[in-house]
Structure 1
Amino acid sequence: MLVALTGVLVLVVFAAGLVVLRPGPVAAWLGDDAGSRPTPVVDPPDPAPGPVLGALDGTAPIPSEAGLTTAIGKLVTDNDLGGRASVVVRDVVTGNVIYANQGDVPTVPASTMKLVTAAAVLATRGPAHRIPTRVVAGPNPGEVILVGGGDPTLAASGKTFYPGAARLDKLAAATKKALGSTAPTKVYYDSSLFSGPVYEPGWDSDIPTGGFGGPSTALTIDGARTTPKQLDNGYSERFSKPDVAAAKAFAKALGVAGTPAPAPKGSVPAGPSAAPTSPTGSIDPGTELARVESPPMVRLVEYMLVDSDNVIAEAMARQVALAKGKPASYVGARAAMTEVVGELGLKADGLVLADGSGLSRTDRLTPELQTALLALAASGKRPELTEMFAGLPVAQWTGTLGERFGEANDRKAAAGIVRAKTGTLTGNHAMAGVVTTVDGRLLAFSVLTDGVTASSDTTRGALDRIAATLARCGCR
């Protein structure tokens, strides 16, 4: 057990977030079995400097229920947390719940839903899986079809929002090489891998234009952002039709004039053609000409969690659907993820999945489920799930916790110690993650609130006080 926990809790900083230093064949996890496909164009991951957080003592004292009740009981019932706070604290090593307040009450999780999405996609796709974006030959010589595989991080060029993303300019160069002496004349696009509505019906009406979410399409660039620049407040204007925008960027890189058109029905095969050319030397329609591939799934999950990226979350949910043989839609994704939760042996009482991001107000889960999931991921029993910790924001260090826990004396103890996913919808605030006590014991915790009327800053402060108290007390 101690070895597993050490692998989880030694972190280093990447340019785009965090990654876990883990035992085992990391290089193999980040590799790719290309088979007979065209060689994908893939950028290597960014280098990493030294360690940030150290290993744990697996024999450290366990907090008691009485000690936790004394330490956080009044904080849990604080009016700033609204009409109800559902809370569970679980010891990671034993898996036992050591404190609960309405821990079995299904509550809107907001963005802490992404923990379920992360676990489901890592369990089904694996940490090394890469999402392809392909180009196949069109109906006539010189015509090509850009085929979206669901990579939300795809970039138009080296000016990317996501470091290490696959790039359309490199895909265009590889396509020209595959065409040989045949000049490209027309670009079609195919984004049919994802089906159904591009927005979940349970989302608030302002989400499509609110800058923190976008349409869920199988072909997109920079998470549907109109510009790859990172804005200070996290807001980014999004394309209403990301597949059209991506196709235009590809056509520009390919040097093809004119507006790209949807691919003719039936013109895109499910996979690469068995033979790249016909006996006459011409390229058969449907033949795969080139592909680029996303960073490995471990990086995509990292991007999703560290900055609570909603577009990536919905793309990851659809990857779960595809892995389970279901339609890549909201309906297919929720059915697939619910199935995976059961396969992981987790108690799913009260679980209602509407989406992968947690933007829907019809999502429901319990702190019992969240903490059980975190404990399973940290246990080493499912090594692929440990990758979740790579993207969890660290208090006063990274992502959505980068500006929290740094000022008030009652919260400073958590800086660099709490690693958690946050969630915010109007009336609902949440935090779920892991924390090391002053005695060195690793705990999983989840706090889900409902009926909040206080300001967001006030409620976040109340959540932070609970996590910071867990960090600074032995609670025995």
Structure 2
Amino acid sequence: MVNFRRYISSVAVLASGFFLAQSTVSTVLYSPAYDNQKSSLNLPSPIATMVEKTILSPKELVDINVNTMMTDPVLKNATWGFVVYDPKTKKVVSSYNENTPLVPASTTKLLTTETAMNLLSENYRWNTQLEYSGSIDENGVLNGNLYIVGSGDPSLGTNKAGAWSYKDIVSDFIGGLSREGIKKVNGDIIIQTALFKGNIAKLPENVVWLENNNYYLPAGSTREINPANEKLIIKKGTNFSTDKKFFYVSPYNNQMVYADKYEGDGVLTTKLPDAPAFLANSFRTTLVKSGIAVTGKVTPKMTDANPESRKLVSAYKSPTLGDIIFYTNQHSDNGLAEALLKTVGFQRLGDQTTESGRKVVTEHLKSEGFDMIGLNYMDGSGLSRSNNVTPIAQAKFLTSLMDEKYYKTYLNSLPVGGQSGTLKRMFNGLGNGQVFAKTGTLNKVKTLAGYMKTNTGKTLVFSLMVNNYAGSVDMVKKRMEKILEPALDL
């Protein structure tokens, strides 16, 4: 707990000398009327602020703001923790409950994206290839199969991070067939995606389904999910169809998807297949429309004990991992984060499942000296309320990254206060362009962790996590800004 006795009296004396009625002591001393201020902060007057800055150091102002928030009506019954850490001295500048495990929400993505960048390198790319087997006769007829070979590209067809659309990829594939002289396919289009076998799995426990009026399915399939148990029910007054009550947001397509049926067996079928299948079916449809007949069908083949000899026709490369991580952190993209988790699991353990991904991430964190006390890493995106981490662990983790060769790319992936991503509407005054941090938002959870460039040229690291607050998200955001703004003068 912060000790204020040594400087409160001097503040009170000087403040009363300036303007008795506007004493800045109200910033420190608690007033019962403060409890009734539910809509806005009790911000000090410009004169009071000037008095504070004249007498108190930036550190003391940070400490006072933290102390004030302990009695703030929005935060006084919340569980929250805060730390500002100096990466040069390796010392805590200011803190409150810094060792308390808290729900981090989407600041979990800090761990997921860094692990992927560390293990795979920022220039890593996923390949999606078109190949064919058999032979091409003098009439341009392929007597064999076409193969679409996927590698788990999480951005496939999404236009995210500069990824191509399905239409663009299909056009490129058709151009490849034209170069090979193929005018008809006497065979099937086979989807070779053994990597995706791990997508049929249970989602992490306690995943938040309803946030900001959207339902999230971060990754995987709907197998073994009971919509009734998960309360996937459309509320009255929405514009959605009343006869199709179960739906989710596809991780591959940014649109609502209705369920075709729900039979009560825990399986929810939808109109949109997984990304490789969607690509393959779009490819077949376009081929037929272009006059290239395909006699066979689109069919998946997870494993192939006796693979056919095949020739490469075309290869689509995804955006770099650095680009995808930039998009993930800027937009707090849950689907991409979960895909990155599965990718590191496959690359290290040969199994693209959430469980393997969790194991790889936690082992990586241990090897990097992460403070594992209080850590519970359940998913890659932060949607699970079972995730836990301490503010000091986050701060020390972010500090350790400053010596990594990919630090600049990692730092640039974070939203910038007042300027970009999920921080564009915060720090529009003080802190604009100086706060680089990942945000996190769940119902009654608001978090922020990252770096700040101070007015004196320092780089400081911070973590601020609030659980179970009262009031609105905007009210919490204002209080977070008030706690952090004096640190800009450190």
Displacement of 1:153? 1.6
- Give the structure-1-normalised TM-score: 0.71
Larger displacement relative to structure 2 (350-359 or 176-185): 176-185
Displacement of 1:83? 1.6
- Find the counterpart in structure 1 of residue 455 from structure 2: 438
- Find the counterpart in structure 2 of residue 168 from structure 1: 169
- Give the structure-2-normalised TM-score: 0.69
Alignment of 1:295-374 (within 5 A): 295-374=319-398
Name the CA distance, whole Å, in 1 between partners of 2:105 and 2:296.
Answer: 39
- Find the counterpart in structure 1 of residue 285 from structure 2: 252
- Find the counterpart in structure 2 of residue 267 from structure 1: 304
Name the CA distance, whole Å, in 2 between partners of 1:240 and 1:369.
Answer: 40
> 2:395, 2:461 within 8 Å by CA — same for their partners in 1?
yes
**Residue segments in structure 1 that go unaligned for 5+ positions in a row:** 1-62, 229-237, 274-283, 407-411
- Find the counterpart in structure 2 of residue 98 from structure 1: 93
User: Aligned pair in 2 of structure 1 residues 250, 461: CA closer, same or farther (>3 Å)?
Assistant: farther
Letter in 2 for 1:420: A
- Find the counterpart in structure 2 of residue 155 from structure 1: 157
User: Aligned pair in 2 of structure 1 residues 183, 417: CA closer, same or farther (>3 Å)?
Assistant: same
Name the CA distance, whole Å, in 2 between partners of 1:366 and 1:191.
Answer: 38
Which one has the bigger helix percentage?
A: 2
Q: In structure 1, which of residues 463, 469, 473 is the aligned counterpart of residue 480 of structure 2? A: 463
User: Aligned pair in 2 of structure 1 residues 258, 377: CA closer, same or farther (>3 Å)?
Assistant: farther
Letter in 2 for 1:94: T
Displacement of 1:71? 4.4
> 1:214, 1:223 within 8 Å by CA — same for their partners in 2?
yes
Larger displacement relative to structure 2 (284-293 or 125-134): 284-293
Question: How many matched pairs?
Answer: 376
Name the CA distance, whole Å, in 1 between partners of 2:297 and 2:176.
Answer: 16
Name the CA distance, whole Å, in 1 between partners of 2:133 and 2:304.
Answer: 7
Displacement of 1:125? 0.3
Letter in 2 for 1:460: K
> 1:88, 1:446 within 8 Å by CA — same for their partners in 2?
yes
Letter in 2 for 1:389: L
Displacement of 1:365? 1.1
Displacement of 1:79? 3.7
Letter in 2 for 1:116: L
2:315 paired with 1:291: yes
- Find the counterpart in structure 1 of residue 84 from structure 2: 89
> 1:395, 1:414 within 8 Å by CA — same for their partners in 2?
yes
Name the CA distance, whole Å, in 2 between partners of 1:145 and 1:211.
Answer: 34
> Identity of counterpart residues, as a percentage?
22
Q: In structure 2, which of residues 448, 469, 475 is the aligned counterpart of residue 452 of structure 1? A: 469
Alignment of 1:13-92 (within 5 A): 66=60, 68-75=62-69, 78-81=72-75, 82-92=77-87
User: Aligned pair in 2 of structure 1 residues 383, 144: CA closer, same or farther (>3 Å)?
Assistant: same
Aligned-partner SS, 1:413? coil
- Find the counterpart in structure 2 of residue 45 from structure 1: none
Name the CA distance, whole Å, in 1 between partners of 2:478 and 2:347.
Answer: 39
Larger displacement relative to structure 2 (359-368 or 302-311): 359-368
Letter in 2 for 1:398: S
Name the CA distance, whole Å, in 2 between partners of 1:258 and 1:79.
Answer: 69
User: Aligned pair in 2 of structure 1 residues 287, 308: CA closer, same or farther (>3 Å)?
Assistant: same
Q: Which has the higher contact order (CA 8 A, sep 6+)?
A: 1
User: Aligned pair in 2 of structure 1 residues 253, 370: CA closer, same or farther (>3 Å)?
Assistant: farther
User: Aligned pair in 2 of structure 1 residues 265, 123: CA closer, same or farther (>3 Å)?
Assistant: closer
User: Aligned pair in 2 of structure 1 residues 73, 142: CA closer, same or farther (>3 Å)?
Assistant: farther
Q: Please tell me whether Structure 1 or Structure 2 has the larger radius of gyration of its CA atoms.
A: 2
User: Aligned pair in 2 of structure 1 residues 227, 169: CA closer, same or farther (>3 Å)?
Assistant: farther
Q: In structure 2, which of residues 446, 451, 476 is the aligned counterpart of residue 429 of structure 1? A: 446
> 1:267, 1:285 within 8 Å by CA — same for their partners in 2?
no
Name the CA distance, whole Å, in 1 between partners of 2:434 and 2:108.
Answer: 22
> 2:272, 2:278 within 8 Å by CA — same for their partners in 1?
no
Name the CA distance, whole Å, in 1 between partners of 2:412 and 2:449.
Answer: 15
Alignment of 1:415-426 (within 5 A): 415-426=432-443
**Residue segments in structure 2 that go unaligned for 5+ positions in a row:** 1-56, 135-141, 222-249, 257-269
Q: In structure 1, which of residues 242, 251, 259 is the aligned counterpart of residue 274 of structure 2? A: 242
- Find the counterpart in structure 2 of residue 204 from structure 1: 208
CA deviation string 1:348-387 (max 9, x = no partner): 2121111110011111111112111211222xx2112432
Name the CA distance, whole Å, in 2 between partners of 1:245 and 1:265.
Answer: 16
Letter in 2 for 1:400: T
User: Aligned pair in 2 of structure 1 residues 262, 203: CA closer, same or farther (>3 Å)?
Assistant: farther
Q: In structure 2, which of residues 115, 120, 125 is the aligned counterpart of residue 130 of structure 1? A: 125
Larger displacement relative to structure 2 (341-350 or 245-254): 245-254
> RMSD between aligned alpha carbons?
3.2
Displacement of 1:122? 0.6
2:252 paired with 1:224: yes
User: Aligned pair in 2 of structure 1 residues 454, 226: CA closer, same or farther (>3 Å)?
Assistant: closer
Aligned-partner SS, 2:487? helix
> 1:318, 1:330 within 8 Å by CA — same for their partners in 2?
yes
